[in-house]
Every structure is written in C-alpha cells, then in structure tokens.
C-alpha cells in the first residue's frame, strides 16, 4: 500500500517563484539531498499575529547554508517577506511553523559526496502547528551523546543531525519519558534531544555553555537576555547530570514551544517553579510588544 504523503495540517510551500498547497514533490532519488543529506533548515513561529525574531531565523538559515557548503540564494529580508506573504494564506486560527530550507541537487564535479554549491535550491514551507508543551515535560538522561564539531556538521541546523535526536526521543519514550537530557562526548549536559535546557538553583539561572556541540538557540538567547534585564543572575557554565538532579527548577526553551517547565527528571519529580513561569511571561510580554527589550 502506498504511503499517504499528504501533510497532517494545512501547508503552503513557496518554491521556484510560486506557492503550492500540500506536500509538493521537490526532491528526487538522484538529488544530493535525498542521497547524501545536504539539507539545512530553520524554524520560526507565527502566533497571535506576531512572528518573534523572524529576522534572526532568516539570518541563521543562510549561515547554516554556508556551513553546509551550499549557496544562499535568498537574502534574509527576502525570506522574511515571503514568510509574511505565506502567513496571509492561513485563517489565523492556529499557530504556524515557518520553515525555510536549502538543499543541494548535485554533487561537486569529481566528488559526488561533496555538494555542488551552484546546485542549491530553496523552499519556504509554512504549516499549522499548535504550540503545545505547556503543562510540563519529563526527561531522562540519554545513553546517546551529541557529536563534536570534528565529527559532525554541528555549525549548521541540518537535517543530518536529527536522526540522532530522533533515536534519543524514541529511547526515552520507550522508558516512559517525553524527552531526553543529552550530554556531549565529555559527559557534560548540553541540551535536550530537541531544545535548550536551563536549571535554577538558589535563585541563579544556569544553562550549558555554548561549546559548539549543540545549537545555542535564538529563543535561548532571547530568554537569557530578558531574564538578565529583569534582574536575574543568568550564567552559562559546564553542567553535569548531578547539577540538574540537584536543581530547584528545570525548564527548556525552543522555537516550537518557547518555554516549558520540566516536571520529572528520571526518578526525581519537580514542579513548574516561579522562575520558569517568569521566563515564559517575560518572553510573551516581549513578543507581544508589551515590554521593550534592548539588544
């Protein structure tokens, strides 16, 4: 039986100068991206009539393309303008995920493994996706690790990194957890399988230092800035599993659900604490323009 390839929510994709509904067939069996994984993407959000930090997401997709050896064919400003054009195609009732993408069609002359930058293609896909995540999430320490820059394309937001995240989540869910707390090759905690992570202890907010083994996200940076502006001591540090087990609060940040409290880490139960709630409130107040945030 053929697999149903239709999207699971309302979807529009801009490619080659036109908007197409549904899930258009864009990558063929000889495409470099299909065969050898030369894909990069980013993800912004639209909700309540706003798209927080859309400009930064559009800038990052072009940096990811360059890191992959691709050639950005759209400026960040052009991508953002297309995103707003796409948003207008939806009814506005459901949050939207905004996903710009680049990929390579061909390998370089003389080496099929290396992508030919001149064969870069671009698409912008928007689809309905509820925010989700609030009410708390559970984590377990993953047996799998994040790679170092010497072993994987960690400088890019690339699809090739996500099968590792997928197996982390699948393994965690097989043991009754929502997501996984992930370490680097040195055994230090760096993030979860799909988001950045913070802990709070004695009023100090701490997050793993950006060591190039994980994506130090745009929402992560925004929340750090807002908390500091609100008077919190926010520290980037080398953190262990034991540090997280001893925390008063743990929360995650990411573009998909913004700020989410952790209510369980392995055998330890936690509650969504006041700093977690404050971080979400600060983010939403800033996103809706209820407060100002100097860079």
pLDDT of residue 132: 76
Contact 83, 74 (CB under 8 A): no
Burial (Cβ within 10 Å: 0-12, 13-18, ≥19) of residue 23: middle
How far apart are the C-alpha atoms of 81 and 75, rounded to whole Å? 10
pLDDT of residue 294: 53
pLDDT of residue 68: 97
Q: How confident is the model at residue 292 (pLDDT cuts 50, 70, 90)?
A: low
Tell which residue, 235, 229, 223, 231, has the closest CA to residue 279: 223
Q: Residue 264: CA atoms inside 13 Å, Cβ hemisphere, count?
A: 13
Query: For residue 109, what are the contacts with CB-CB under 8 A and spacing of at least 6?
Result: 116
pLDDT of residue 172: 98
Contact 60, 42 (CB under 8 A): yes
CATH number of 11-128: 3.30.470.10
Sign of the torsion angle spanned by Cα atoms 71, 58, 101, 87: negative
Q: How confident is the model at residue 295 (pLDDT cuts 50, 70, 90)?
A: low
Per-domain boundaries in the chain: 11-128, 137-288
| Mean pLDDT calculated for residue range 264-289 | 97
| Mean pLDDT calculated for residue range 56-77 | 98
How far apart are the C-alpha atoms of 295 and 284, rounded to whole Å? 17
Query: Which contiguous run of DSSP H or E holds residue 99?
Result: strand 96-104
Q: How confident is the model at residue 196 (pLDDT cuts 50, 70, 90)?
A: very high
How far apart are the C-alpha atoms of 45 and 83, rounded to whole Å? 10
How far apart are the C-alpha atoms of 266 and 274, rounded to whole Å? 22
What DSSP state is assigned to residue 159?
A: G
Q: What is the dihedral of CA 264, 281, 162, 205, to 10 degrees?
A: -60
Contact 137, 263 (CB under 8 A): yes
* pTM of the model as a whole: 0.95
| Mean pLDDT calculated for residue range 184-201 | 98
| Mean pLDDT calculated for residue range 273-286 | 97
Query: For residue 247, what are the contacts with CB-CB under 8 A and spacing of at least 6?
Result: 199, 200, 201, 270
| Chosen CATH of 137-288 out of 3.20.10.10, 3.90.1150.150, 3.40.50.2000, 3.40.630.10 | 3.20.10.10
Tell which residue, 174, 215, 162, has the closest CA to residue 191: 215
Task: Check whether 130 has a pLDDT greater than 90.
Answer: yes
Task: Check whether 1 has a pLDDT greater than 80.
Answer: no
pLDDT of residue 134: 73
| Mean pLDDT calculated for residue range 275-286 | 97
Report the DSSP pairing between strands 137-145 and 249-254. Answer: unpaired
SS3 57: helix
Mean model confidence pLDDT for the chain:
96
pLDDT of residue 61: 98
């Amino acid at each position: 039986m053929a697999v149903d390839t239709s999207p699971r929510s309302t979807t529009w994709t801009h490619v080659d100068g036109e908007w197409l509904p549904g899930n258009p067939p864009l990558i063929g069996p000889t495409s470099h991206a299909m065969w050898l994984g030369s894909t990069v993407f980013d993800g912004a959000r639209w909700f309540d009539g706003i798209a927080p930090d859309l400009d930064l997401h559009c800038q990052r997709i072009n940096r990811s393309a360059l890191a992959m050896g691709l050639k950005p064919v759209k400026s960040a400003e052009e991508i953002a303008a297309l995103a707003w054009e796409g948003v207008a195609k939806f009814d506005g009732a459901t949050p939207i995920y905004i996903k710009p993408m680049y990929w390579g069609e061909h390998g370089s002359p003389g080496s099929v493994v290396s992508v030919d930058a001149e064969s870069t293609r671009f698409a912008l896909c928007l689809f309905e996706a509820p925010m989700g995540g609030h009410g708390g999430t559970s984590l377990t320490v993953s047996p799998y690790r994040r790679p170092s820059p010497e072993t994987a394309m960690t400088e890019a937001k690339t699809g090739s990194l996500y099968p590792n995240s997928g197996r982390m989540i699948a393994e965690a869910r097989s043991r009754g957890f929502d997501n996984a707390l992930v370490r680097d090759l040195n055994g230090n905690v760096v993030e979860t399988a799909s988001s950045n992570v913070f802990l709070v202890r004695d009023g100090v907010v701490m997050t793993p230092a950006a060591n190039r083994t994980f994506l130090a996200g745009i929402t992560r940076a925004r929340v750090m800035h807002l908390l500091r502006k609100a008077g919190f001591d926010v520290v980037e540090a080398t953190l262990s599993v034991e540090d997280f087990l001893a925390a008063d609060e743990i929360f995650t940040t990411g573009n998909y659900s913004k700020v989410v409290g952790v209510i369980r880490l392995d055998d330890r139960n936690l509650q969504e604490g006041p700093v977690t709630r404050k971080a979400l409130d600060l983010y939403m107040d800033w996103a809706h323009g209820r407060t100002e945030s100097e860079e």
